[in-house]
Amino acid sequence: MHLKLFNSPCADPACNDHTNIQALSGHLLIDNIIAGSLKAQLLFAARMRTQDGLIQMWQECQEFDACSNGAKIEKVENYLANESFAMKDRQRDVDEASVILHVEEVWLKRLYRGEGRGLWMVRELVRQLELADDVVVMLQAGPLSRERQGQDTVESDGKSAHERIACHWKKLGFDEWSDSDDAWLCLRVGEMKQSAGRRVQDEE
């Protein structure tokens, strides 16, 4: 099993208005067969952080969305700028993150689902990028807004689709950092590394 990463060029080759945002894609290869894929964006937050906060991040996210192939990362900046992260002092983790990794999509062919390969893909993405401990990884766990309206909700063992997806990602260390928006899950890379180290020790 191998994750092959690619830089995803901007749809507009002449665009240089989001120099601190890098788009990535990847293929999960099993026996040289494409079994899945992922999409992600690196937001170099430290470069965009000013005395006024992350105003430059807002501007670059706008530019990125305007010339990207469908990706919409303004929601990432909106979440970081407007939510309160009082839980476990997560505000400091957000404020001091050198990089934000937004995992936009993790997809597996049906044949290869159910074996934890999606979790492995994200863990391998972090490893290959050699991300620092202070990097924050973000993803959305599911269509929570529709569930709140009672639409498109699939329940299993008393859990909604969103809850089941959230439980899946929490195995890797993701968690809700905001009291008011639990559709987003986050983790700090250093904590994920520590968790992985403990698992290795337990297996020895």
Pairing label, strands 100-108, 2-7? unpaired
Alpha-carbon distance of 42 to 192, in angstroms, equals: 18
pTM tops 0.75, yes or no: yes
Buried b (16+ CB within 10 A) or exposed e, 154-182: eeeeeebbbbebbeebeebbbbbbbeebe
Statement: residue 203 has pLDDT above 60:
no
Q: What is the pLDDT of residues 93-129, one digit of tens each?
A: 999 999 999 999 999 999 999 899 999 999 999 999 9
Q: Is the pLDDT of residue 157 over 60?
A: no
pLDDT of residue 49: 83
* CATH code where residue 76 lies: 3.40.630
- Amino acid identity of 148? R
What confidence tier does 195 reach under pLDDT thresholds 50, 70, 90?
A: confident
How far apart are alpha carbons 36 and 23 in whole angstroms?
Answer: 18
pLDDT of residue 197: 60
Task: Tell me the average pLDDT across 21-36.
Answer: 95
pLDDT band at 12 (very low <50, low <70, confident <90, very high): low
State the residue range of the domain holding 119: 2-202
pLDDT in tens, 54-89: 678 888 898 888 887 677 889 999 999 999 897 778
More confident: 12 or 76:
76
Q: How many domains does the chain have?
A: 1
Q: Provide the Cα torsion 169, 172, 173, 176; round to 10°.
A: -10
Mean predicted lDDT score pLDDT of the chain: 84
The full 3-state SS of the chain, as one line of letters, equals CEEEEEECCCCCCCCCCCCCEEEEEEEEEECCEEEEEEEEEEECHHHHCECCECHHHHHHHHHHHHCCCCCCCHHHHHHHHHCCCCHHHHHHHHHHCCCEEEEEEEEECHHHCCCCHHHHHHHHHHHHHCCCCCCEEEEECCCHHHHHCCCCCCCECCECHHHHHHHHHHCCCCECCCCCCCCEEEEEHHHHHHHHHHHHHHHC
